[in-house]
């Protein structure tokens, strides 16, 4: 009964919920320690890497953080709704990118229409996954299957080749404004929108309540399936946005283009301290998590570390982050 795979399970022997003050104190500890880790990392990086604190490198970190961050902000809704994470992030991103590129190149549609079609495809993907999970299916397995399905569909649609998008069409999205990549503005804007959606809208509040306690939320008249579907739609929309900007930045789209994005995005959310039990967390944290992962990737790149070292660092960050948050919550209880 107390299966760790079932996000909605509340163990019958679970201790009573801690008091408000204790919870606040723990959250303060979590925030302070997270800040301390980032500051310590920055200091170490600055001391060991001369070119770390430079304007060019800052721009490079921003550029790395943006796609990861945009997708992570979306994934935060799934995590907050109590459904852990999605394993279909990179496929959704690539799918959005492929649809966008096909609309622009093959159909010759204007940029705005191509964007809309790409995002509409993401909504469909999100609704299908969200409805499945909302009915009670396991989110990890659902997204694993959905990722494979999307990959296959994408390969059929695009003829499993690469679609080249002419740079003049995409310079609007891929370029810079005031010396800062446009995608970074989009990242900030999406984070702000996500925060407002979570805190101020009915959907956002429903996602938090369903994540905190599905049974109570249902009893209070919230459709838990609807909230979960909404969370997955937001997640897919964000992932597809990241994918479309990826197309704009690289000038091409393909099934494998976003390879590895899922790792970075899941890592961003898992190290950010958003409660994996659901019902607690904010898109801002996911954005900070993405920034931290981008710092790690940038640090590895500056030191000329190989892809393997980079992956191992991200994996270690996940394990350490997850363990630290788990232990902190246990101490609090």
- Radius of gyration, alpha carbons of the chain: 20
Does position 309 interact with other proteins (CB under 8 A)? The reply is: yes
Does position 168 interact with other proteins (CB under 8 A)? The reply is: no
Provide the 8-state DSSP code for 163: E
Of 50, 34, 235, nearest in space to 127 by CA: 235
Does position 256 interact with other proteins (CB under 8 A)? The reply is: no
8 Å CB contact between 59 and 114: no
d(CA 104, CA 249): 15
Helix, strand, coil shares of the chain, percent, nearest 5, are 75, 0, 25
8 Å CB contact between 45 and 297: no
Smallest gap from residue 329 Cβ to other proteins (A): 10
Does position 144 interact with other proteins (CB under 8 A)? The reply is: yes
Residue from 45, 121, 146, 231 in contact with other proteins (CB under 8 A): 146
| Number of alpha carbons in the 13 Å side-chain half-sphere of residue 87 | 12
8 Å CB contact between 292 and 271: yes
For the CA atoms of 272, 71, 227, 8, the dihedral, rounded to the nearest 10 degrees, stands at -40
Residue from 188, 322, 328, 332 in contact with other proteins (CB under 8 A): 322
Residue from 28, 40, 135, 189 in contact with other proteins (CB under 8 A): 135
Does position 323 interact with other proteins (CB under 8 A)? The reply is: yes
**The 3-state secondary structure of 259-324, one letter per residue:** CCHHHHHHHHHHHCCCCCCCCCCCHHHHHHHHHHHHHHHHHHHHCCCCHHHHHHHHHHHHHHHHHH
Structure tokens at 65: 């953080």
For other proteins, what does the binding mask look like between residues 66 and 105, x meaning CB under 8 A? ------------------xx--------------------
Does position 327 interact with other proteins (CB under 8 A)? The reply is: yes
Of 21-29, 175-183, 213-221, 320-328, which segment contacts other proteins by CB under 8 A? 320-328
Residue from 74, 147, 204, 283 in contact with other proteins (CB under 8 A): 147
Smallest gap from residue 114 Cβ to other proteins (A): 24
Does position 106 interact with other proteins (CB under 8 A)? The reply is: no
Residue from 266, 268, 287, 295 in contact with other proteins (CB under 8 A): 266
Provide the 8-state DSSP code for 257: T
Strand 163-164 to 176-177 pairing: unpaired
Smallest gap from residue 115 Cβ to other proteins (A): 26
Does position 311 interact with other proteins (CB under 8 A)? The reply is: yes
Does position 326 interact with other proteins (CB under 8 A)? The reply is: yes
Smallest gap from residue 54 Cβ to other proteins (A): 27
Give the binding site for other proteins (CB under 8 A). 1-6, 11-13, 84-85, 132, 135-138, 140-142, 144-153, 155-156, 160, 255, 263, 266-267, 270, 276, 306-319, 322-323, 326-327, 330
């Amino acid at each position: 009964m107390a299966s760790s795979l079932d996000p909605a399970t509340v163990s019958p022997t679970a201790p009573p919920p801690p008091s408000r003050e204790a919870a606040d104190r723990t959250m303060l500890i979590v925030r302070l320690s997270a800040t301390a880790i980032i500051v310590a990392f920055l200091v170490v990086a600055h001391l060991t890497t001369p070119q770390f604190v430079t304007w060019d490198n800052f721009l490079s970190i921003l550029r790395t953080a943006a796609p990861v961050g945009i997708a992570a902000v979306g994934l935060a809704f799934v995590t907050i709704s109590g459904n852990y994470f999605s394993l279909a992030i990179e496929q959704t991103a690539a799918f959005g990118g492929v649809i966008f590129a096909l609309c622009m190149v093959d159909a010759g549609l204007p940029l705005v229409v191509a964007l809309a079609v790409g995002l509409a495809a993401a909504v469909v993907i999100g609704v299908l996954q969200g409805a499945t999970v909302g009915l009670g299916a396991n989110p990890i397995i659902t997204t694993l299957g959905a990722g494979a399905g999307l990959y296959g569909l994408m390969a059929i649609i695009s003829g499993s080749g690469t679609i080249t998008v002419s740079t003049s069409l995409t310079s609007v999205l891929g370029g810079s404004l005031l010396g800062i990549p446009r995608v970074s503005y989009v990242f900030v804007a999406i984070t702000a929108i996500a925060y407002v959606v979570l805190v101020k809208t009915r959907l956002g509040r429903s996602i938090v309540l369903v994540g905190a306690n599905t049974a109570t939320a249902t009893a209070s008249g919230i459709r838990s399936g609807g909230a979960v579907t909404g969370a997955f739609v937001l997640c897919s929309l964000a992932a597809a946005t990241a994918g479309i900007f990826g197309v704009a930045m690289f000038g091409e789209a393909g099934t494998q283009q976003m390879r590895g994005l899922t790792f970075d995005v899941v890592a961003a959310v898992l190290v950010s301290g958003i409660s994996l039990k659901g019902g607690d967390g904010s898109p801002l944290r996911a954005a900070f998590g993405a920034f931290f992962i981008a710092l790690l990737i940038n640090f590895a790149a500056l030191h000329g570390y190989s892809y393997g070292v980079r992956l191992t660092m991200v994996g270690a960050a996940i394990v350490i982050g997850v363990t630290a948050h788990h232990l902190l919550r246990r101490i609090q209880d």
